Amino acid sequence: MNVSQILKQKGNRVVSVSDNATVSEAAAILAREGIGAVLVLDGAGRVAGILSERDLVRGFASHGAAVLTLGVAEVMTRDVVFCRPEDSIDQVMGEMTTRRFRHLPVLENGRLTGIVSIGDVVKYRLMETEAEAESLRQYIAAG
Ligand code: AMP
């Protein structure tokens, strides 16, 4: 199973926020959408960064409640790592583990086509494992 199969089921929606938004606005979006990260887009719609719950926690630790009035650009991560639709689940899991983050936006020919989280990856890896176990059971039952 690969990233494009995950996106086929979960869809291509990517929740984003403008790089002019405040941290407070971004936090409201994370809460409303029940997600852990938003992509930050510049005025031309290009990816300027990614802002996750971790960045909010770090921001609170260094600025206190004043972090809410800062611009997202001050706390986001600028150097965004992407994955590709053809990447396997194992590749994506490896990337998330090595780099210690839980979100990978998907780029296809320079276009943003979705985002996968560690939750998606675990869910589809489990489905894959269950399918493998089932086919083994059927193989054994067939004698
Ligand atoms: P996360 O585990 O995804 O909540 O993120 C942990 C840290 O990594 C935060 O500082 C995020 O801004 C950053 N981060 C998350 N996803 C990515 C990504 N795909 N590329 C670069 N940084 C990321």
Yes or no: say if 48 and 18 are a contact pair by the CB < 8 Å rule: no
Look over the chain and give the mean of its residue pLDDT values, rounded to a whole number: 95
Mean pLDDT across 33-53: 97
Per-residue pLDDT at 131? 87
At 143 the three-state DSSP class reads: coil
DSSP of 26-88: HHHHHHHHT-SEEEEE-TTS-EEEEEEHHHHHHHHHHHGGGGGGSBGGGTSBSS---B-TT-B
* φ and ψ at residue 69, rounded to 5 degrees: -90, -10
* Contact call for residues 47 and 37 (beta carbons, < 8 A): no
Best residue for ligand 1 mutational test, from 103, 117, 118 (most atoms within 8 Å of Cβ): 103
Q: How far is the CA of 75 from the centre of ligand 1 (A)?
A: 11
- Token pair listed for 71: 């611009």
Q: In angstroms, rounded to a whole number, what is the distance separating the alpha carbons of residues 98 and 13?
A: 26
pLDDT above 90: percentage of residues in the chain: 88
For a pocket test of ligand 1, which of 19, 23, 35, 50 has the largest count of ligand atoms closer than 8 A to its C-beta? 50
pLDDT at 128: 86
Give the Cα separation of 66 and 133 in Å (integer). 51
Residue nearest to atom 3 of ligand 1 (CA): 102
pLDDT at 52: 98
Q: What is the mean pLDDT of residues 123-135?
A: 89
The yes-or-no verdict on residue 143 having pLDDT over 80 is: no
| pLDDT > 70: percent of the chain | 100
Quick check: 74 pLDDT over 80?
yes
How close is the Cα of 131 to the center of ligand 1, in Å? 31
pLDDT value of residue 83: 98
Residue 43 φ/ψ, nearest 5 degrees: -60, -25
Q: What is the pLDDT of residues 77-125, one digit of tens each?
A: 999 999 999 999 999 999 999 999 999 999 999 999 999 999 999 999 8
- Which atom of ligand 1 lies nearest, measured to the CA of 104? 19
With a cut of 80, say whether residue 46 has pLDDT above it. Answer: yes
pLDDT tens per residue across span 6-19: 999 999 999 999 99
Kindly report the pTM of this predicted structure.
0.92
Closest among 30, 32, 37 to 52, alpha carbons compared? 37
